[in-house]
Amino acid sequence: MADSAETRKLVYLVTGGCGFLGEHVVRMLLQREPRLYELRVFDLHLGPWLEELKTGPVQVTAIQGDVTQAHEVAAAVAGAHVVIHTAGLVDVFGRASPETIYEVNVQGTKNVIEACVQTGTRFLVYTSSMEVVGPNIKGHPFYRGNEDTPYEAIHRHPYPCSKAQAERLVLEANGRKVHGGLALVTCALRPTGIYGEGHQIMRDFYHQGLRLGGRLFRAIPASVEHSRVYVGNVAWMHVLVAQELEQRAALMGGQVYFCYDESPFKSYEDFNMEFLGPCGLRLGGTRPPGAHRLGRGPALNALLEWLLRPLLLYAPLLNPYTLAVANTTFTVSTDKAQRHFGYKPLFSWEDSRTRTIRWVQAVEGSAP
């Protein structure tokens, strides 16, 4: 569509817009939403890269704010046509208390919903997660499942519990009357494990491997398969949902969609090696006795984390929860997003892989 002032009339708000996913959503909107007049980027921690975005035709407004503060959220939402709510505390490593995770992920989402209702914003896209479904505490595999596959979703960990509660609030809010009398239209997207430029865990594994002389030790059987999805395709799905929600409100409103693309099903470690291998790392056999790649055993890690919490933050990657998730097959096979709003991945597997490898290679000089 030609770039002309009369087409630019929409105001978007992206919460968590400076995060791993959020930054890609912000950049995707600037590239792929021709009706954009103002893009509000709301985050607890604003990135310096935002400044470079202020030279284009779209007004980019950086808002430093906290989703747990209702008045800050309401001020940011007021006047927006669409809210893409990605802000969240993504913590399965024991870095934040359960109370804080609830405050951000659940209360923060309540604040976003109420701000939409009070100010008259009609379209809300929420970044949920695969973990709303599973894997459950019984370790049941989710094999090539879709949005309608029966599965016993049982959670104990604060993070998946918070995502499930927040998603439910968003879907239940669909149809509520907003200021001005029209209906709120909501939708939730469930990414599986996101990878790509800016993925901190991938970066941590890379630096860990460098410290171990270029070798990572296998801790998960290759037979345990995970779905993974490239961050650019997750961002594209968020933008496409936001663009289609008004015209397809009756079909899409109150719906959930898994985020998917052509990334292959592999174990978490084998998948990471698609990027770390070309950067010089090798995935070796099992760890030598006593040499725990990511700290001590999971149970001991959990005990140390609990004992040390009053004194210091001890939150290694490996704990009983993350080990259980890593060891449980969770693969998604669906086309609901394509059927409902014409989604097709924007980036092929080859392109996603190449972009991620280039990013890992670029971080080589930034080892902590």
Ligand X SMILES: CC(C)[C@@H](O)CC[C@@H](C)[C@H]1CC[C@H]2[C@@H]3[C@H](O)C=C4C[C@@H](O)CC[C@]4(C)[C@H]3CC[C@]12C
Q: Tell me which residues are annotated as active site.
A: 159
356 is an interface residue for ligand NAD by CB under 6 A: no
What is the distance between the alpha carbons of residues 167 and 289, in angstroms, rounded to a whole number?
42
For ligand NAD, give the closer residue by CB, 240 or 249: 240
Q: Which stretch, 86-94, 273-281, 285-293, 335-343, contacts ligand NAD (CB under 6 A)?
A: 86-94
**Does residue 142 interact with ligand X by CB under 6 A?**
no
Contact status: 120 vs ligand NAD (CB under 6 A)? no
Token pair belonging to 196: 């790509």
* Contact pattern for ligand NAD over residues 127 through 166, marking x by CB under 6 A: x-x---------------------------------x---
Nearest approach in angstroms of CB 177 to ligand NAD is 26
Count of chain residues binding ligand X (CB under 6 A): 18
Which of the ranges 22-30, 54-62, 320-328, 335-343 carries the binding residues for ligand X, by CB under 6 A?
A: 320-328
Assess 193 for contact with ligand NAD (CB under 6 A).
yes
Mask: binding to ligand NAD, 292-331, rule CB under 6 A, as x and -? ----------------------------------------
- Least distance between ligand X and beta carbon 297 (Å): 11
CA 341-344-345 angle, to 5 degrees, is 135
Q: Which is nearer to ligand X, 158 or 345 (CB)?
A: 158
Q: How many CB atoms lie within 10 A of CB 141?
A: 16
Interface with ligand NAD, residue 18, by CB under 6 A? yes
CA 229/CA 238 separation, integer angstroms: 13
Q: Are 259 and 232 in contact (CB under 8 A)?
A: no
Exposed, middle or buried, 114 (CB in 10 Å: 0-12/13-18/19+)? Answer: middle
Which does residue 316 bind out of ligand NAD, ligand X, none, counting CB within 5 to 8 angstroms by kind?
A: none
Binding of residue 86 to ligand NAD (CB under 6 A): yes
Give bridge partners of residue 302 from the DSSP assignment.
Answer: none
Q: Is 13 in the site for ligand NAD (CB under 6 A)?
A: no
Give how far Cα 158 sits from Cα of 92, 131, 142, Å.
8, 11, 21
Q: Which residues does 361 contact at the CB level (< 8 Å), separation at least 6?
A: 279
Exposed/middle/buried for 278, CB within 10 Å: 0-12, 13-18, 19+? middle
Angstrom distance (rounded) from CA 11 to CA 22: 16
What single-letter DSSP state applies at residue 57? S
Of all residues in this chain, which one has the CB nearest to ligand X in the complex? 193
Asked whether position 90 contacts ligand X by CB under 6 A, the answer is yes
Quick check: 147 and 257 in contact, CB under 8 A? yes
Contacts to ligand NAD by CB under 6 A: 16, 18-22, 43-45, 66-68, 86-90, 104, 108, 127, 129, 163, 191, 193-194
